[in-house]
Amino acid sequence: MLLGIVGGTGAMGSSLALRLSSHGHRILLGSRNADKAKEVAASLADLKKSGAGAIDGVTNLEAAEGEMVFITAPFEGVQELVKELSVNLSGKVVVSLVNALVKVGSEMQPLTLARGSVAQSIQAILPASLVVSGLHHVAAKDLAKVDSPMDVDVLLCSDYPDGKDAVTGLLGAIPGIRILDGGSLSSSGAIEAMTAVLINLNIKYKTRTALRITGIKER
């Protein structure tokens, strides 16, 4: 597939690009600054597996041309960014990885949003898109290790079953990732907020935590 990553030059965006390209997908790595996107894409070239799909540094507008588009931009300004891209994103599956978090003292805390979650805010801006919330609890460093399997459950939330199915098919091909249906987009607020707890655990115990749900039988 041709996959777009909007706001993709940070740790999560670039790690996701590496992992997805390792499965043969072509990646449009987006940024507000095309030169920065090209620079980051070039830095990933030496980390790619043999036979991996291309990673092209482009503007966010060009990244929104992907068949499926991931939003990995920082929370601050993400709503305005999505508004700018709304025409390009219309009718597509749009995956939000964005968390609304703030540091209070030495602790990360989730922000309370009027619409309940970042994903719900994006869906309100993109009524013609199939917004899916997911990948909030996946460590960027683990994604970037393309030769190593993951060890994490990924909870997907959406009001569109077709959107969840499309993302499940894509991410489910990554070894070690188990996709679980987290329900409608109304559940995304709790899932996004849990990210703050995991970050605080990482800091306290100097590790990288991952989420695993017990009691669900493998299909």
CATH for 2-205 (3.40.50.720, 1.10.540.10, 3.40.190.120, 2.60.40.1940): 3.40.50.720
The Cα angle at residue 57 between residues 46 and 95, in degrees rounded to 5: 105
Radius of gyration of the chain (CA): 16
Q: List residues bridging with 159 in a β-sheet.
A: none
Distance CA(26)–CA(48), nearest Å, equals 12
CB 59 within 8 A of CB 30: yes
Closest among 164, 175, 185, 217 to 117, alpha carbons compared:
185
Domain extent listing, the chain: 2-205
- Copy the structure tokens of residue 9: 């030059």
Residue 28 to residues 60, 68, 128, 151, Cα–Cα distance (Å): 9, 10, 22, 26
Q: List residues bridging with 155 in a β-sheet.
A: 180
Q: What is the full per-residue pLDDT of the chain (219 aa) written as tens digits?
A: 999 999 999 999 999 999 999 999 999 999 999 999 999 999 999 899 888 999 999 999 999 999 999 999 999 999 999 999 999 999 999 999 999 999 999 999 999 999 999 999 999 999 999 999 999 999 999 999 999 999 999 999 999 999 999 999 999 999 999 999 999 999 999 999 999 999 999 999 999 999 999 999 876
Distance CA(193)–CA(19), nearest Å, equals 25
